[in-house]
Amino acid sequence: MPRGTTYDDGTHPGADLEVAGWTAILDAMEAAADHAEALLGKPDHGNRGDWTPAGIPGPLPQQLRERALLLAERQDTLVQRLEEARMSTQRQLNAVSSVPGVGAASAAVYLDITG
């Protein structure tokens, strides 16, 4: 089939590979969103390490468009929630650091002058 040719269903040669590639990418991004949501509920949940972007296998297949849009909305919501959690944590740290003696090295309160 010549390059640029499409089948009757609107797909083209290699479309299955694009769907599989994009499905894997969306799976990984959804797993990262799951992890971020878990962190919001359990701060000690752990670190997933650095994220490495996947190689893009071609244009996003039409049948995955709705999934990708839902994921983008979910990520936007997560960004807002994570920022709120960060600001809340910063307010708590500021409150704790404003208490005299918190975080400072302990010092003697009394001086023994009788020996």
- Give tens-digit pLDDT for 54-70: 777 888 889 999 999 99
Q: How far apart are CA 74 and CA 80, in angstroms?
A: 10
**Average pLDDT over every residue of 105-115:** 66
Q: How far apart are CA 37 and CA 42, in angstroms?
A: 9
pLDDT tens digits, one per residue of 13-39: 667 888 888 888 899 999 988 888 887
DSSP state of 112: -
Task: State pTM to two decimals.
Answer: 0.55
Give 78 or 110, the one with higher predicted confidence.
Answer: 78
Measured CA to CA in angstroms, residue 114 lies from 88, 107, 108, 109 at distances of 49, 19, 16, 15
User: How does residue 1 score in pLDDT terms, banded at 50, 70 and 90?
Assistant: very low
Res 77 pLDDT > 60: yes
